Amino acid sequence: MTQALTTVYDPFGDAFQSNPYPAYHELRENDPVHRHAEPGFWALSRFEDIWTAVRDNSAFSSESGLTFYPDEIGQLGLAPTIVMLDPPRHTRLRSLIAKGFTPHRVLSMEPLIREFVRGRLDEMAAMIAQGETVDLHGDFSSQIPTFVLAELFDLPEGERDQFDPWVRALTSLQDSGFDIQALEAKDAVAQMFGYFSELITARRANPGDDMISVLAHAELDGERLTDWDILGFCFVLVAGGNDTTGNLISHGVMLLDGDHAQRDRLVAEPELIPNALLEFLRLEGSAQGLARTTLKPVTVHGIEIPEGEKVMMLYASGNRDEREYGPTAGELDITRRIPRHLGFSSGVHFCIGSHLARLQGRIALEELLARHPNVGVDLDNAVRLKSAFTRGWTKLPATGLSS
C-alpha cells in the first residue's frame, strides 16, 4: 500500500487518510487553530490545547455530538447517549454505568479471552496449512472485541451470528459521522436496537450476572438507568469500542513490523506489552479526533472561536506533538514514558472501556507474538478504512506466520 504524502488537512482526501501525519505536523506548526471551510468547523492540533479543551466542560460541550457535522444528533434520530452528555447528567449516568463495568469484572474475563485468542490462532494455523492468506485484521484482531462484547452481554450462543453484522453496521454508522439516513446498514441498526430493547426487558425480569443485568438493576440515590440509558451504553460499547480495539491490535503488529528489534524485545520481554500498547495508540490512534461545541467564545493562541462552533480535537495530532513528547515524537519506542496521552481522550469523557481495550490488546499480543514471533503485515495489499474520525483497516494481510 503506497502512502501518498500531503500536508493539506482534508479529512475526506485519499492522500490524507492514507497518511495524515504530515498534515497534522503542518497544522501544529503553522495553523494550530485551524478553520475548515466545508463542512464548517475548527480544529485544534497541539497536545496542550486539546488536553485543556476536553477537560473544560464550561467552554466545550459534547451535547451537540462528536463529529463536525452540524446536526449529528438530529440526523441520528435518537436520544443522546452518554458520550453526548455533559455534567451533571453525564456524571450521574457514568457513576451508574460504572457499577456494571468495573475493572474487576473486566479482569475476570481474561481466561475466556485468552482461550478465544488461542482458538483464533489455531484457526489461522489451519488456514496457513491449506495455503490460504490470513487477514490479520479480519481473521484475528477484529474478532476479539466482537467476542468480548457478546460475552459481556451474555448473548445466547445460537444468536451470536446475527451480532456480527450489527457490530459492522454500528461501526459504519460511526465512520459515516452518525448519518443514519445515508447508512446502507440502517436496517441492521434498527434490528439491533429492537433486539437489545427486548433483552433489557427480559434481564430486568430475570437478571443474571451479565453486564446488562447489572446495569438494569444498578441504583444511585434511588435513581436507576432507563432502558434508553442502557441501550445507549450498549451502542457506545459497540460503535466506539469494537473496531477501535481491533485496530489497536492491528496497528501494533504493523508498527512492530517496521522495527524488528523492538518486536524481538517484546517477544523476549512480554511484560513490556502494556506500555507498548499505549505507544501504539499514541502513534496510530484508532480515534483520530472527535468534536466538541463551544458554549461561549474561546480564545486560543490569540484566535477567537465563537460560541456555538464545532471544534475537532485532533487526538492523533496531539499524540505526536513534539512539545509533549520531544524530538522523537514520531518514532516508535515501546519503553517510552507516557505520563499523558489522548488515545482514550481525557477529562469526564475519558474512555470508560479503556481497561477492557488494554486487556484485549495485551492478551492478543502476548499470544500472537509467542506463537508467531516474526509476524508482520503486507501493506502493499492492505486496505485502509475510509473515515474522517477512525483510523483502521478493512483488510490487512499477515506475513511471517507459520502453521
What is the Cα–Cα distance from 383 to 13, expressed in whole angstroms?
15
Neighbouring CB atoms inside 10 A of 126's CB total 11
CA 361 to chain centre: 12
Question: What pLDDT does 342 receive?
Answer: 96
Check if the beta carbon of residue 287 is closer than 8 Å to that of residue 389.
Answer: yes
Question: What pLDDT does 46 receive?
Answer: 98
Give 133's contacts (C-beta < 8 A, 6+ positions apart): 127, 397, 398
Question: What pLDDT does 225 receive?
Answer: 84
Closest C-alpha to 282, from 340, 323, 237: 340
**Residue 383 — left, alpha, or beta (φ > 0 → left; ψ -120 to 50 → alpha)?**
beta
Question: What pLDDT does 176 receive?
Answer: 58
CA 118 to chain centre: 23
Amino acid at 129: A
225 half-sphere exposure, CB direction, 13 A CA radius:
32
Question: What pLDDT does 331 receive?
Answer: 98
Coil, strand, or helix at residue 199?
A: helix
Question: What pLDDT does 252 receive?
Answer: 98
Per-residue pLDDT of the chain (403 residues; tens, 9 = 90+): 445 678 999 998 999 999 999 999 999 999 999 999 988 999 999 999 999 999 999 999 999 888 888 766 666 556 677 888 899 888 888 887 787 778 888 889 999 999 999 999 999 999 999 999 999 999 999 999 989 988 988 988 888 777 777 777 766 665 555 554 445 556 767 788 888 899 999 999 999 988 899 888 888 778 888 888 888 888 778 777 778 899 999 999 999 999 999 999 999 999 999 999 999 999 999 999 999 999 999 999 999 999 999 999 999 999 999 999 999 999 999 999 999 999 999 998 888 889 999 999 999 999 999 999 999 999 999 999 888 888 999 999 999 998 7
Question: What pLDDT does 352 receive?
Answer: 84
